[in-house]
Structure 1
Amino acid sequence: MIGAIRRRSLHIGDKWPTLVFLALLLLLIGLKGRFNAFDLRSLCVAALPLALIALGQFLIILTRGIDLSLGPVASVAGAVMAIFVTSSPALGLLLSIAIGLVAGLLNGTLIVGIGLPPIIVTLATMSIWQGIALIVLPDPGGSVPALYQALFIGGFSSPYIGLFSLFAWGTLVTWLLGTRFGLKLRAIGGDETAAAMSGIRVRGVKIAAYVLGAVLAALGGMYMAVSMSSGSPTVGDGYILTSIAAVVVGGIPLTGGRGSPLSVVMGALILTVTASLLYFAEVSSFYQSLIDGLILLLVVGSAGARGFLQGQVRR
């Protein structure tokens, strides 16, 4: 009987990000007294940049790495897009994506090629990209044609494009992890030595993870530029640690090798709904970091409890 209860608890634990999101959403609806199409659109628009950057962080964490520069990379990509996309759409889009490619290749080369610690390298490149963002666009500005908002966000009462985009990216990364490349990512995160002995080119795969992570961050920055109709040199700074938090809140271990991209999306939604709850509950924004930290502690604590339960079930 006790074993059955523990197994049910573990099964619920696997789905807990979705359950937590639904509980928070119901609480938000109770506070607002409504939840219409405009509210759903606002939720998707706010969550999508975080989800994209967090998905990039997730790919890197799968290999037991970390990247603190993804937020500033998003800032630069969004700023470049806002500067060039109106006069030259192709140039604006391609340059923004190229920024992600260069950023990921730089990090991957320094970390994998030279063997420097990921946290030190990405802390340094974080500062570099923050400086580049201020050089490219010292103040918020630029413009994005309204057509881009209609295509990628939808109208003020049309949530379907944003909702589709949110889960389409999660599904795309899920598909990626089902390919040979994705299996190699998981294998490296699980046991890098064993992966190398099995013939996997560990260095190339890890560099590719940093490149893909930075490209997803650049896409997140481009989406922010579209949603704001302009660029900002500091807009991505708020995602430096939040992207890691979304991964952890989604139940992904930082030890690598495991996790679902859709859980990362749910983690981004949880953090976004939490911010909305604080706003509508008239809680000061000064408490946002405090509450985010408490949420992370609860998540880490619940992961430890699940590990204890799993050990008991095996016994």
Structure 2
Amino acid sequence: MEIQKKLNVFIPYIILAVILVIMGIYQPGVINFNWLNRQADAWVTLALVGIGQTLVFMIGGTDLSVGGLISFTNCLAAAYMPDSVGGIVLFSFGILLAGAAAGMFNGFIIVKFRLQPFIATLTTWAIWSGAALCILSVDGGKVPRAFTKALLYKFGSVKVSLLILAALIIIGVFFKVSRLGIAVLAVGSNEKGAYFGGINVTRTKILVYTISGFLAACSGLFRTAQVSSGSPTAGDSFILLSCAAAVIGGCSIVTGYYSFAGAVMGAVIMRLLTSLMVAVGVSSYMTSLLQGVILIVSVCISSFTAIFHNRKKMEVDM
């Protein structure tokens, strides 16, 4: 079991190291602190939703609605955010509450009506995507400069995005040993066992989907600040990418491993692939192909660890 967990832990770091080495060979000197600052803005949007997807995966679910939520919050902020400090704060808080409420709704209908997570969240994705189109039928909107400056601000030479990524990793360490973090692992590993162990399975699942919705709304707000506009299709690519970030990050119900740091690394890897294509002189259109290859390799490794774990378990039982 320990070998399996360590394998899951090191997968994203090995892949990231390979990408950085290749980029360093083809573009010497490109990787520095300024480069890190520039890249962090793109990383944080995917890392946020990737962490939410990781938690959903760990309870045996999936959340496709994140794509629609990101599009909706992005369009809502770009179209209606007031141009005053107080208005920006209140409006942003309202968007985050809306994201949490949307996630809670996902969890509620999945648990109470025993719907398949894939079908339930696919439906709510369509709802939020449609709402985004009602707000902005084409890319546009006007984002207050104060909002953009706040989320892209630099503390000295360190951007807010880098600080948020570091904070997410630290929060993840404490989350895993929290009551909810332990409950997430217990529910994903053995739902009936968790129930008889005194864990409120219903509440745990709803809370996880609530967190996923909240983080998707956060991602939508950051995306708004980064591009200073709204798009009704802004979140579509995040569906696959968030799943990839979670899987590459090493989350696995079988081995009982997940981490926010792994999800962050998975997000970084997915975002760096475009830069890697540019560095080696290959068309950026090949990025999707490479993303798929890395995802398949990660899934195969995860499946291998699951098979190995089951064989060991059978040997012990015998």
Q: Would the TM-score normalized by the shorter structure come out above 0.5?
A: yes
Deviation, 1:94, is 2.3
Deviation, 1:91, is 3.6
Pairing of 1:43-82 with structure 2 (within 5 A): 43-82=39-78
Closer, same or farther in 2 for the Cα pair 1:287/1:297, shift >3 Å? Answer: same
Does structure 1 residue 261 correspond to structure 2 residue 257?
no
Deviation, 1:254, is 5.9
CA distance in 2, matches of 1:167, 1:86: 30
The residue number in structure 2 matching 1:20 is 15
**AA aligned opposite 1:234:** T
Q: Note if contact 1:250-1:267 (Cα within 8 Å) is conserved in structure 2.
A: yes
Instruction: Please list the CA deviations of residues 231-286 of structure 1 after superposition, one character each: whole Å capped at 9, or x if unmatched.
Output: 22111111011100110111112669531111111111111111211133332333
Does structure 1 residue 173 correspond to structure 2 residue 172?
yes
Q: Note if contact 1:18-1:266 (Cα within 8 Å) is conserved in structure 2.
A: yes
The residue number in structure 2 matching 1:101 is 100
Closer, same or farther in 2 for the Cα pair 1:79/1:160, shift >3 Å? Answer: same
Deviation, 1:309, is 6.2
Closer, same or farther in 2 for the Cα pair 1:235/1:14, shift >3 Å? Answer: same
Q: Note if contact 1:108-1:207 (Cα within 8 Å) is conserved in structure 2.
A: yes
Tell me, what secondary structure is at the counterpart of 1:240? helix
Tell me, what secondary structure is at the counterpart of 2:212? helix
Q: Note if contact 1:86-1:143 (Cα within 8 Å) is conserved in structure 2.
A: no
Once the two structures are overlaid, the 10-residue window that deviates more, 200-209 or 174-183, is: 174-183
The residue number in structure 1 matching 2:207 is 208
Once the two structures are overlaid, the 10-residue window that deviates more, 53-62 or 296-305, is: 296-305
Deviation, 1:8, is 7.9
Closer, same or farther in 2 for the Cα pair 1:72/1:301, shift >3 Å? Answer: same
Pairing of 1:1-12 with structure 2 (within 5 A): 11=6
Instruction: Please list the CA deviations of residues 200-252 of structure 1 after superposition, one character each: whole Å capped at 9, or x if unmatched.
Output: 11111101110111100110110010111222211111101110011011111
Closer, same or farther in 2 for the Cα pair 1:309/1:108, shift >3 Å? Answer: closer
Instruction: Please list the CA deviations of residues 134-160 of structure 1 after superposition, one character each: whole Å capped at 9, or x if unmatched.
Output: 1112222223333334332235x9444
Q: Note if contact 1:248-1:254 (Cα within 8 Å) is conserved in structure 2.
A: no
**AA aligned opposite 2:62:** I
CA distance in 1, matches of 2:70, 2:160: 21
Closer, same or farther in 2 for the Cα pair 1:296/1:30, shift >3 Å? Answer: same
Instruction: Please list the CA deviations of residues 18-75 of structure 1 after superposition, one character each: whole Å capped at 9, or x if unmatched.
Output: 2321221122233223223332122211111110011111111111110111011011
Q: Note if contact 1:73-1:214 (Cα within 8 Å) is conserved in structure 2.
A: yes
Segments of structure 2 that go 5 or more residues without pairing to the other structure are none
The residue number in structure 1 matching 2:114 is 115
Deviation, 1:168, is 1.1
Tell me, what secondary structure is at the counterpart of 2:139? coil
Closer, same or farther in 2 for the Cα pair 1:197/1:309, shift >3 Å? Answer: closer
**AA aligned opposite 1:141:** G
Tell me, what secondary structure is at the counterpart of 1:140? coil
Q: Note if contact 1:185-1:257 (Cα within 8 Å) is conserved in structure 2.
A: no
**AA aligned opposite 2:168:** W
Closer, same or farther in 2 for the Cα pair 1:123/1:142, shift >3 Å? Answer: same
Q: Note if contact 2:75-2:230 (Cα within 8 Å) is conserved in structure 1.
A: yes
**AA aligned opposite 1:15:** F
The residue number in structure 2 matching 1:31 is 26
Does structure 1 residue 142 correspond to structure 2 residue 171?
no
Pairing of 1:210-249 with structure 2 (within 5 A): 210-249=209-248
Deviation, 1:80, is 1.5
The residue number in structure 2 matching 1:4 is none
CA distance in 2, matches of 1:271, 1:202: 32
The residue number in structure 1 matching 2:288 is 289
Segments of structure 1 that go 5 or more residues without pairing to the other structure are 1-6
**AA aligned opposite 1:58:** T
Does structure 1 residue 277 correspond to structure 2 residue 272?
no
Deviation, 1:164, is 1.6
Deviation, 1:306, is 4.2
**AA aligned opposite 1:133:** A
- RMSD over aligned Cα atoms: 2.7
Tell me, what secondary structure is at the counterpart of 1:241? helix
TM-score w.r.t. length of structure 1: 0.89
